[in-house]
Structure 1
Amino acid sequence: MTMLEKPLHAAPSTSQTPGALAGIRVLDIATFVAAPFCGTILADFGAEVIKIEQPDGGDSLRRFGTATDCGDTLVWLSEARNKKTVTLDLRKPEGAELFRKLVAESDVVLENFRPGTLEKWGLGYDVLSAIRPGLVMLRISAYGQTGPKSSEPGFARIAHAFAGLSYLSGEADGPPVVPGSTSMADYVSGIWGAVGVLAALRERDHSGQGQVIDLGLYESVFRLLDELAPAYAKYGIVRNRMGADTVNVVPHSHYQTRSGEWVALACTSDKMWERLAAVMQQPALAVEYPTSDVRVRHRELINHIVNDWIGAHDLVEVLEKTRAGGVPCAQIYSIAEIVEDPQFLARGNLMQVDDPRAGELLLPAAVPRLSRTPPVFRHAGRALGADNGDVYQGLLGLSDEQLRSHAASGVI
């Protein structure tokens, strides 16, 4: 039985109740993941997001990831969901003029070109804000709009390296490794971008003025690295790779069960350590190693004790005993376990949809959940230019003849 032959995981919400961001129109002229993911978040919560792509081939994200029979990848179908899709060549004068007309009817522009690109096309924020004074523009680039590296290209892998995350990823005696996902910086930047857009829109409610949100991919990652900077500045500490371990806490790592599965165990406080010692039926450990400082000094020994205890029990036993003792512990899941887990099912974290182009799809549901205006799924990522008529004729009032002429000349 394949995954899609199994019972429906979670029916997506298709309620017509306006979302929290209903009435906000967003122009997504960005490519790949970072700024477009901000658009996905806004679209999930009801904003009208118009995805603008080059007429010849569209966004490269359509070809990134696992291919499907419809011609677009699973990444596109998931991450371009809920967006209208139109084609427009911003480099052509006629295309730039159409874009300016769209800006006059919109609230937000999302872009991630190299700094100076929009200005070169006559579409910088100074020009656009003169048309729409309340315009909010999110600009995501590798290194931000300023600084000596601002003109350099970069992707998420580069951001992980430059921000210091890759240096921390891997075993202590091994090379730096990919920190989980090569696209993590893109997704995190999209989230930070959404925070910025919402903050700017909130401020616009008071001032009536828009503003620019300037974000470098590396900044989105660096901001997540807890005490890395203050620990170095104050004490000269350069944190190194520690594998699955955590710098200031023990035991806080991954351990293998007798049945072969791996679990993550987190004892973030002395109280949790006391509970674990009781679960392991070794309460004296809580007296002998009572504080985090002491346990960190005896990291190897503590990890050895915990590893031996977990390694002596099957997965089910470990999970049952730690759960009963109030100790945070979970199996390290692959996607195969995720799609079967009752917690994911109960929370509706997976939604199975029937797409007219790609057929049945299992997609991650939007987060977070709102009690009155929850996110709504309307459709998966659409075909290139699927909404040209709706946007250019319905919003801008172009005639059939104008639409055909722009298409023939490669403007749309």
Structure 2
Amino acid sequence: MALETEAEAGSVTGGALAGLKVLDIATFVAAPFCGTILADFGADVIKIEQPKTGDSLRQFGTVTECGDSLVWLSESRNKKTVTLDLRQPAGADMFRRLVAQSDVVLENFRPGTLERWGLGFDALSEINPRLIMLRISAYGQTGPKREEPGFARIAHAFAGLSWLAGERDGPPVVPGSTSMADYISGMWGAIGVLTAVQARIVSGRGQFIDIGLYESVFRLLDEIAPAYAKYGSVRERMGADTVNVVPHSHYRTASGEWVALACTNDKMFERLAQVMGRRELVERFPTSAVRVEHRDEVNAIVADWVGGCTLRDVLERTREGGVPCAQIYSIREIFEDPQYEARGNLLRVDDPRVGELVVPAPVPRMSATPAQFRHAGRALGADNHEVYSTYLGLSDDELRSLAETGVI
């Protein structure tokens, strides 16, 4: 399903963020994903990569026949791609000239790296006082660990999420995607950039946004901080269960599939008891507190009921009874599900280098200014001529010379 055209949606020409110029000098996923979000909604994002080698994301994951990975094709979509060596004086000078014309810079080098190159925020804001810089690093720009390296897996561990992932008596496991902290940080980054753009309307000045990968995850861990501070409680791994409510877990059907079932309050449990034909359970376990106290017993009752039904029976009965329940999907079921089809969550596009691609559709869904797909992640340096001739006025001879010397 293709995204709506501008005419169909009555959208702002070019997208809601048209006219916002972004320089993406980051690598892998975290800060670049912020650029992807902005680009989906019309920002002019220029992806700057190291000459010859490019961003390591090009080789991360499944590499396609064009030499770039599926991750690159999906997550670098809608960006112009240029090469530029920021460590060479000529490259740094070209970057400064681009900064003078830009609104946002996205970076995720170790703290202090850009400063050593003379390209830190203070230096760049002298060139462009309206500049907004997103800075994502493992531990942020300050603190005793600021210079240490880190990836999403490290962030999950340091933020306390990995401690919670796994079975009660088992080791900590990967909490879903190994890149989750990167994607979450990119989302926080997009919020920060748009907040800074709004603030600039009032102040006339830019600012920098400082995000540590671990902070992006820690901020989402509900009550673990106040619970420890007030009561000294340390939440342990609980497998599929949830700390404050029961039944709120995963259960296996008679036909072998797994379902997720959520009873977050007493009303939902009353509905579930009705669906199960066990009204007496409401009197035995009337409140969340009582059900949590008898967690194993309640879970066993629900597991026994689900285990005696086929997947179809469980889904039909819970749907009719108003109980939140869903099959636990693999990507195969996602591709077969009519809800995904109806919402256009799987975006089918044609790429001149690899042919048909299916990528996750942009989020959020906007009624008047929807996201637009223009192209998948492009080849290394594909837009060198357009960007450098248009924005910097460089001639073909100058571009050839810069390429020969490894500046671009």
Query: TM-score per shorter chain, which class?
Result: over 0.9
Q: Could you tell me how far apart the structure 2 residues matched to 1:40 and 1:197 are? A: 13
Whether 1:310 and 2:301 are equivalent positions in the alignment is: no
TM-score, length-scaled by structure 2: 0.98
Q: Could you tell me how far apart the structure 2 residues matched to 1:339 and 1:102 are? A: 42
Whether 1:290 and 2:286 are equivalent positions in the alignment is: yes
2:272 paired residue number: 276
1:66 paired residue number: 62
Unpaired stretches in structure 1, ≥5 consecutive residues: 1-9
Match of 2:391, SS state, is: coil
CA contact (8 A) 1:14 1:377 kept: no
CA contact (8 A) 1:14 1:378 kept: no
Whether 1:174 and 2:170 are equivalent positions in the alignment is: yes
Q: Could you tell me how far apart the structure 1 residues matched to 2:335 and 2:297 are? A: 36
Whether 1:357 and 2:353 are equivalent positions in the alignment is: yes
The CA deviation at 1:13 is 3.8
Match for 2:180 among 171, 181, 184?
184
2:34 paired residue number: 38
Match for 1:28 among 20, 24, 32?
24
1:3 paired residue number: none
Match of 1:58, SS state, is: coil
Counterparts of 1:197-212 in structure 2, within 5 Å, are 197-212=193-208
Match for 1:250 among 229, 246, 251?
246
CA contact (8 A) 1:13 1:377 kept: no
2:44 paired residue number: 48
Deviation string 1:234-257 (CA, Å, 9 cap, x unpaired) is 001000000000000000000000
2:131 paired residue number: 135
TM-score, length-scaled by structure 1: 0.97
> How has the CA–CA distance of structure 1 residues 14 and 98 changed in structure 2, closer, same or farther, with 3 Å as cutoff?
farther
2:71 paired residue number: 75
Q: Could you tell me how far apart the structure 1 residues matched to 2:267 and 2:5 are? A: 45
Match of 1:339, SS state, is: helix
Q: Could you tell me how far apart the structure 1 residues matched to 2:4 and 2:144 are? A: 46
**2:103 partner letter:** D
Match of 2:189, SS state, is: helix
Counterparts of 1:322-333 in structure 2, within 5 Å, are 322-333=318-329
**1:235 partner letter:** Y
**1:333 partner letter:** Y
**1:362 partner letter:** V
CA contact (8 A) 2:64 2:70 kept: yes
1:12 paired residue number: 3
The CA deviation at 1:99 is 0.1
CA contact (8 A) 2:249 2:262 kept: yes
Match for 1:345 among 335, 341, 353?
341
Q: What is the count of residue pairs matched by the alignment?
A: 403
Aligned-residue sequence identity (percent) comes to 75
Q: Could you tell me how far apart the structure 1 residues matched to 2:199 and 2:188 are? A: 17
Match for 2:388 among 389, 392, 395?
392
**1:147 partner letter:** G
1:259 paired residue number: 255
Cα-Cα RMSD: 0.7
Moved over 6 A (4+): none
CA contact (8 A) 2:3 2:371 kept: no
Q: Could you tell me how far apart the structure 1 residues matched to 2:14 and 2:264 are? A: 41
Match of 1:300, SS state, is: helix
1:150 paired residue number: 146
1:7 paired residue number: none
Deviation string 1:158-193 (CA, Å, 9 cap, x unpaired) is 000000000000000000000001000000000000
CA contact (8 A) 1:295 1:302 kept: yes
The CA deviation at 1:134 is 0.6
**1:77 partner letter:** L
Whether 1:234 and 2:230 are equivalent positions in the alignment is: yes
The CA deviation at 1:15 is 3.8
The CA deviation at 1:258 is 0.3
CA contact (8 A) 2:140 2:210 kept: yes
Q: Could you tell me how far apart the structure 1 residues matched to 2:340 and 2:282 are? A: 34
Q: Could you tell me how far apart the structure 2 residues matched to 1:14 and 1:118 are? A: 40
The CA deviation at 1:14 is 5.0
Counterparts of 1:61-140 in structure 2, within 5 Å, are 61-140=57-136
The CA deviation at 1:375 is 0.3
The CA deviation at 1:57 is 1.1
Q: Could you tell me how far apart the structure 1 residues matched to 2:2 and 2:66 are? A: 22
The CA deviation at 1:358 is 1.1
2:155 paired residue number: 159
The CA deviation at 1:401 is 1.0
CA contact (8 A) 2:152 2:180 kept: yes
Deviation string 1:282-322 (CA, Å, 9 cap, x unpaired) is 01111111110000000000000000000000000000000
Match of 1:260, SS state, is: coil
**1:355 partner letter:** D
Whether 1:195 and 2:191 are equivalent positions in the alignment is: yes
The CA deviation at 1:12 is 3.3
Q: Could you tell me how far apart the structure 1 residues matched to 2:119 and 2:18 are? A: 26
